[in-house]
Chains A and B, each alone.
Chain A
C-alpha cells in the first residue's frame, strides 16, 4: 500500500479530530513534550518494499503480541506505524479481538495486517508435523482469526513457528495457505521461524510458494551472520523479510541488571538491507516513542554500535545461550546444554524442583566425566561447563522430598 493514500487518510483524520468528531480527539492542547508525535506530511520516514508483494512499509512496525491496551495500538497507528502483527494464539484470541476493536472506524486499507496460525498437532521434540496435522484444522483457526479481527482478509497469513525444512514444505499446510490466498482471505502468505532460521528460510525460498518470511534476527544471535546470509538470499529471491526478536531479550543478563539499548538493537537489525521492517513488541507509550524515533531515523551511529558490546563482567553469571557448542565439543556428546539449563533453574530461578526433575530424566551416569582425563569443552562465554555439569548432577544425591 502506498504512502500517498495513507497520508491522505491521515490529513482527513486530523481535520476531523480538530472538529472533535473522532474518539481520540480529546488531546491536551498544551504539553511540555508530547508522548507520541503524530506523523505529518513534513516528516516522511524512509520505507522499503516487502519483496515482490508491492507493499511498502516504514522500517518499524508493531508486534502487538504483548500489548493489551488499544490506546497504545491507536497511538502507534497515529504515529506513523502501518503494519500490525498478531497471531491466533496470542492472549487466547483476545489480542486479535483488540486489534479488531482498534480497526473499527479506520479504513481497512490503511493498515497492513498479519496474523499467524500454528499447524497442529506438532511433535515438539522434533519440530515436525504429524499425519494428524491437517489443512482443514489450520483454516478453521484462520477463519476464527478473521472473525476476531473483524475483517474479511489479512495482508499476510503466516504458518507459525516453523523449525525444520520439512515443516516448511508440509503439503497439507502449503495447500491450506494457498487456498486462503486463492480465496482472497490472505493477500500474501509466509512462514515464521525462531529456531534453525537459516535452514527454514532457505526451505521457504526453495518451496517457491511463500511471499514473506518472518524471522528472528538480532545482534546477540550466535549464528547471526548465517541468518543474515539467509535473509540476503531470501531478499534476492524476491521474498519479503520481516525481522522479529530484534530486541534480543531486552537485558544482557538473566538477572536483569544490564539493559540493552533498545534503539541501538533495533537499528542493528534494520541495517540489513534485506530486512524490510521489524516488529518490536512494545506495550507502553514510552517504548512507542523510542520506536518512532527509529522509524524516522533508522541509521545506526558508531556510538550505538559500541553500546551493543556486552558489558565486561568478572563472572559470566548464570546465563547460558544454549548455543550447543559445548555438546559438539564434548568427546562423549553429553547433553551439556540441558545440564547448563538445569544449573540456571537452580541458581538463577532458585527452582530446585525444576533442576532436579531435568537432571533425573537425563540418561546419564552419575559420574559423567570419568572417562575423560582432560575436558575438550571451551565455552565462548567463559562458563565453566564441566564444573557446573558436575555440580548440578549432584542434585541426584539429594532427597526429592525437599522440593515436592
Chain B
C-alpha cells in the first residue's frame, strides 16, 4: 500500500506494472543489522548493493548469490588501531535461500559457532546464517591472539539485531542422520543436479562402507506432482521410454537414482547406495504430516 502511495505522490507510474502481491512478512533492511561496537569507528559510509550492481563489489562471485535470491547487501568497515573489520549483511528472498548460499560456501572444516541459526569460523573470517540474512565478517590487520574474540564480538552484535529465533530450514531434519557427512546438507535452488526442470532440492552427502551417495527431497510445485517431476527428470536425462522403472533409473551423469513419492514430496537416493529402501523409509517417516 505504501508503495502504491509513494508512486502516486511521486506523480507517475511510468512503466510500472501494478499487480496484487501475496501477503509477505515485512522486510527488514540489511543495513539495520550493521552493528556499532564500542571502540570501533565506521570508515566512511556503509555501502549498499542490489542485484544490478552486486558484481561491482564481489565480481563474478555475484552470480552465485543471485542464484540464491539475493535482494540486497549492506556492508560496513570498522577501524581501530590499525586493524579493520568488515561486516557484510546479505539479505536473500527467504530463509531457505539464505541457507542455500550459506551452505554453498560452508567448509567441511573450520570451527562451528553457536551464532544465529549456525555459523563457522576460519582464519580471518566468521560467517553465519540468521533468518533471510547471510552475514560475512572478515578481519584484517589484527593481532592473531585477538582476532577470534573480535570476530565473535562483531558476530554477536550483528546477530542481536537480526531475527529473534533463527533456525535452520525444518525440512533438513527429514534427511536421514545416520551416515550423513557433517556440514554436507545443502539447498540447491536453481537447476539442482544440473537439470533446469527440477525445482529446489534439499540434499546431503553420505558415506558408508566405502560407498558414496546422496539423499534428497523436494516439494512439488502446485502445477505438477512428484511423479511428474520424476518423469521430467528422466526426459531431461535423455532416457528412453520404459528404460528402468518409473521411479528408479540410471542417470547418465549422476548414476543410480531411486525415488519415492510422499504426499507433495519427492524423496530420493542418488549414487552408489546398495539398498536405498531404508533411507527412503526414514525420509517418509520424518516428513511433516501436512503433505
Chain A interfacial positions (CB closer than 8 Å to B): 24, 26-28, 30-36, 63, 65-66, 68-69, 71-72, 74-75, 87, 89-94, 118, 120-121, 124, 132, 160-161, 194-195, 244, 254, 281, 283-287, 315-318, 341, 344-347, 349-354, 357-358, 361, 384, 387-388, 391-392, 394-395, 397-398, 402-404
* Residue B40 is within 8 A (CB to CB) of chain A in the complex: no
Q: Which of B61, B190, B196 contacts A87 (CB 8 A)?
A: B61
CA distance A120 to B59 in the complex (A): 14
Determine if B107 and A94 form an interchain contact, defined as CB atoms under 8 angstroms apart: yes
**Which residue on A lies nearest to B141, using beta carbons?**
A132
Determine if A87 and B60 form an interchain contact, defined as CB atoms under 8 angstroms apart: yes
Determine if A398 and B9 form an interchain contact, defined as CB atoms under 8 angstroms apart: yes
Determine if B15 and A317 form an interchain contact, defined as CB atoms under 8 angstroms apart: yes
Residues on A with C-beta less than 8 A from B105 are 91-94
A68-B188, A284-B194, A387-B14 are known contacts; what are 20 more A-B pairs with Cβ within 8 Å? A28-B240, A28-B243, A28-B249, A71-B194, A71-B254, A74-B253, A89-B58, A91-B61, A124-B56, A194-B59, A195-B56, A283-B191, A284-B196, A285-B237, A316-B15, A344-B52, A351-B71, A391-B10, A394-B9, A395-B6
Determine if B252 and A28 form an interchain contact, defined as CB atoms under 8 angstroms apart: yes
CA distance A1 to B65 in the complex (A): 34
Determine if B15 and A318 form an interchain contact, defined as CB atoms under 8 angstroms apart: yes
Residues on A with C-beta less than 8 A from B196 are 284, 286-287
- Minimum distance in angstroms from B95 CB to a CB of chain A: 19
**Which residue on B lies nearest to A36, using beta carbons?**
B253
* Residue B67 is within 8 A (CB to CB) of chain A in the complex: yes
* Residue B51 is within 8 A (CB to CB) of chain A in the complex: yes
Determine if B243 and A30 form an interchain contact, defined as CB atoms under 8 angstroms apart: yes
Q: A92-B106, A94-B107 are in contact. Are A65 and B60 (CB under 8 A)?
A: yes
* Residue B281 is within 8 A (CB to CB) of chain A in the complex: no
- Minimum distance in angstroms from A81 CB to a CB of chain B: 14
Q: A30-B243, A87-B60 are in contact. Are A391 and B12 (CB under 8 A)?
A: yes
Within 8 A of A (CB), among B99-130: 104-107, 127
Determine if B252 and A357 form an interchain contact, defined as CB atoms under 8 angstroms apart: no
- Minimum distance in angstroms from A320 CB to a CB of chain B: 9
Determine if A351 and B50 form an interchain contact, defined as CB atoms under 8 angstroms apart: yes
Residues on A with C-beta less than 8 A from B239 are 28, 31-32
Residues on B with C-beta less than 8 A from A27 are 252
CA distance A196 to B72 in the complex (A): 25
Determine if A349 and B50 form an interchain contact, defined as CB atoms under 8 angstroms apart: yes
Q: Which of B236, B240, B255 contacts A35 (CB 8 A)?
A: B236
Q: Which of A244, A286, A315, A344 contacts B236 (CB 8 A)?
A: A286
Q: B1-35, CB under 8 A of A: which get 1 and which 0?
A: 01100100111101110000000000001011000
**Which residue on A lies nearest to B270, using beta carbons?**
A71
Residues on A with C-beta less than 8 A from B15 are 315-318, 347
Residues on A with C-beta less than 8 A from B11 are 391, 394
Residues on B with C-beta less than 8 A from A318 are 15
CA distance A72 to B192 in the complex (A): 11
Determine if B51 and A35 form an interchain contact, defined as CB atoms under 8 angstroms apart: no
CA distance A402 to B27 in the complex (A): 11
Within 8 A of A (CB), among B174-228: 188, 190-191, 193-196
CA distance A4 to B60 in the complex (A): 33
Determine if A65 and B252 form an interchain contact, defined as CB atoms under 8 angstroms apart: no
- Minimum distance in angstroms from B159 CB to a CB of chain A: 19
Interface centre among A92, A120, A347, A354 (most CB of B within 10 A): A92
Interface centre among B56, B60, B190, B239 (most CB of A within 10 A): B60
> 27 A-B Cβ contacts within 8 A?
A26-B252, A27-B252, A28-B249, A31-B252, A32-B239, A89-B58, A90-B60, A92-B104, A92-B105, A92-B106, A124-B47, A132-B141, A283-B67, A283-B190, A283-B191, A286-B195, A349-B52, A349-B71, A352-B6, A353-B31, A384-B14, A387-B14, A395-B6, A398-B9, A402-B6, A404-B29, A404-B32
Determine if A124 and B9 form an interchain contact, defined as CB atoms under 8 angstroms apart: no
